Chain A
Amino acid sequence: MKFTIYQESRPGKRPTNEDRIAYSYSRDTLMMVVADGMGGHLHGEVAAQIAVQYITEAFQREAHPQLKDPFLFLSGALNNAHHAILDYAADRFLPEAPRTTCVACIVQDSIAYWAHAGDSRLYAIRGGRILGVTRDHSRVQRMVEDGLITAEAAVHHPARNRIFSCLGGASPPQIDFSKKTPLMTGDVILLCTDGVWGPLPSDVIPRAMSTGNVLQATPALLNQAEARGGENADNLSMIAIRWEDSYAEDTLGSVSTKTMPVDSFTTQMEAFAKARKGAQPLPNLSDEDIERAIQEINAAIRKYSK
């Protein structure tokens, strides 16, 4: 299995980042997940965190190194994540369970499988054209698809942010599944939150990915979406992969899992809010680091005092 992957999450202009993203892969299987905690609901980021963490852990329990049935895995993982959020709320006597959107994708044997609840999207792109895309669980979006209102009208529709399926809600989530989608070299799979696709005209995302250079195109798309989001830009998160031919020459920055041990996983979870604008995560300074620095300085002061 060989692919190039890039993920990034930004707070936009919001005080907190309620988006959570992660990917994990074994030798034979790749899993990616994006969750957008719902603001307005209590602890949106908690719901997103639980969903991403739960699904990643479930993947690591079951992919040894392959999943028996990727669709069954996705169904179980998303439904169980929903219940894990409800349990969290019940344990803490929260008046209302926190909620999150969720889109997750599995790639195994060069076939992609995905499932989603809410309005975080997955795009499968081939040669700059959309091969497949999730349908948002949003009445406004469905009205656009059915030709009842125009895309422009949807942008200003009062219910544009309302979704009818999510994890953690009062009713069980409606989860939609994709078809089995065989991937070819150069295909791009892209998962993102509405902070990314919302502000962008519909043709921008596939066009940006036509080069297949996800390492460059992903941050460029995020920049564009953030700029268009303006003063009120929502949290933006995106994971994108470019699928590679296993036998091709090494592409710069690509991951090859050929030599991975059967039972190992590589996981990348962006769980914590980053400083606004700082693209690089800052090295964390713990309480112990601070105490140590102070002790060192005081020792030096004593040593060099006459």
Chain B
Amino acid sequence: MPPQANVPLPPGYQLNEYRIERQLSLGGFSIVYLAFDGEDAPVAIKEYLPNSLALRSQGDALPSIAEENVATFRYGMKCFFEEGRALAKISHPNVVRVQNFFRANETVYMVMHYERGRTLQEHIQKHKGEIRESFIRTIFSRLLNGLREVHTHKLLHLDIKPSNIYLRNDGTPVLIDFGAARQTLSLDTPLLKPMYTPGFAAPEQYNNIRRELLGPWTDIYSVGASMYACMAAAAPQAADQRLERDQLAAAVKRWPDKYSRHLLETVDWCMRLNYLERPQSVFALQKALADKARSVPRVTFLGGLRKRVRDLIK
């Protein structure tokens, strides 16, 4: 029997000092709500509720947890705490900020700062094929600042993808959803196996994950894949399939007229299958992006011009 979907808490539900407004998203592991605190400021509240272990029915606040699942449910809570611990220590404009953590309804809740905006995923859907180089460079250079802060705290995000990159209304990016935080990785608990998004996870994250192979380069692969997705308006070929038969067209070959060679090469560099061939740290990647940045506008300008001329001839 496939796990059923959980019923979210109803609008208007008073959860400690917070009032639930509506559900923002529903995942296999948790539900995220928009809520308002006592001072009517908006917050995002993440509720730990893995639907394979705990089910909430219509009209109930308390989920029902089968007796034999209690230990696993509690164990999964540990992973949720891991995410909270990871985020609590990071205060950076490009990383989601946790405000509070509490227990209620026999489960636990994480309160995060609510940002108005949309995900990069939504942005890509809306602007298919017309995302400019300057946009990619601006978003990702800021995002890398946040990711650098994360790595400084000896943490890996491990699930970077366009739907986990949030764009505030002022255009600045925020890295969200640290649910894949490393604890979940080393353990073989099938009920809670983290779901990686095919196309964005690095090859070393598949199958028998070898913990010692994961590093900043793992998140960097996902950053490269997210940039690739901005250009292609679709997820790149999944890394496990690439290992069998690499059909991913190099960015350099695919969009030579649309983006600078420098940016395309950087994307391809991040997405090398061999982790040793990728940038080894966020700093190395930032440096590479910045070094040649000055030469970039000219190239894009010429490339753009060439394309326009060609379009005219057609």
Q: Which residues from chain A sit less than 8 Å from chain B, CB to CB? A: 11, 15-17, 272-278, 281-285, 290-291, 293-294, 296-298, 300-301, 304-306
Contacts and interface: CB of A to CB of B under 8 A. Distances in A.
B68 A274 contact: yes
A304 B71 contact: no
A298 B101 contact: yes
Given A275-B191, A304-B88, A285 B68 contact: no
A272 B71 CA distance: 10
B85 interface: yes
A275 B89 contact: no
**Interface majority SS (helix, strand, loop, mixed), chain A:** loop
A283 B66 CA distance: 18
B77 A282 contact: no
B71 A275 contact: yes
29 contacts: A15-B66, A16-B68, A272-B71, A273-B67, A273-B68, A274-B68, A275-B69, A275-B71, A275-B72, A276-B68, A276-B191, A278-B72, A278-B190, A281-B71, A282-B74, A282-B75, A283-B75, A285-B77, A290-B74, A290-B77, A293-B84, A294-B81, A294-B102, A296-B85, A300-B85, A301-B88, A301-B99, A301-B100, A305-B97
B126 interface: no
Q: Which of B81, B85, B97 has the most chain A CB atoms inside 10 A of its CB? A: B81
B71 A290 contact: no
A278 B189 contact: yes
B50 to A, nearest CB: 12
Interface in B134-193: 189-191
Given A15-B68, A275-B191, A282-B75, A297 B101 contact: yes
B121 to A, nearest CB: 28
A300 B88 contact: yes
A274 B66 CA distance: 12
A294 B72 contact: no
B71 to A, nearest CB: 5
Q: Which of A274, A275, A276, A285 has the most chain B CB atoms inside 10 A of its CB? A: A275
A42 to B, nearest CB: 16
Contacts of A301: 88, 98-101
A283 B67 CA distance: 16
Interface residues of B, number: 28
Contacts of A304: 88-91
B78 interface: yes
Contacts of B74: 282, 284-285, 290
B71 A297 contact: no
Given A293-B84, A306-B91, 5 more contacts: A282-B75, A293-B85, A296-B85, A297-B85, A305-B97
Contacts of A275: 68-69, 71-72, 75, 189, 191
Interface string B84-120: 1100111100000111111100001000000000000
Contacts of B103: 290-291, 294
A285 B100 contact: no
The 7 A-B pairs with the shortest beta carbon distances in the complex, nearest first, are A300-B88, A285-B74, A275-B72, A297-B84, A297-B101, A282-B75, A293-B81
B101 A277 contact: no
A183 B190 CA distance: 41
B108 A285 contact: no
A284 B74 CA distance: 7
Contacts of B77: 285, 290
B100 A274 contact: no
Given A15-B68, A277-B190, A285 B78 contact: yes
Nearest to A276: B68
Nearest to B97: A305
Contact of A274 (B71, B89, B90, B91): B71
B135 to A, nearest CB: 29
A275 B100 CA distance: 30
Contacts of B189: 275, 278, 282
A233 B108 CA distance: 34
Contacts of B68: 11, 15-17, 273-276
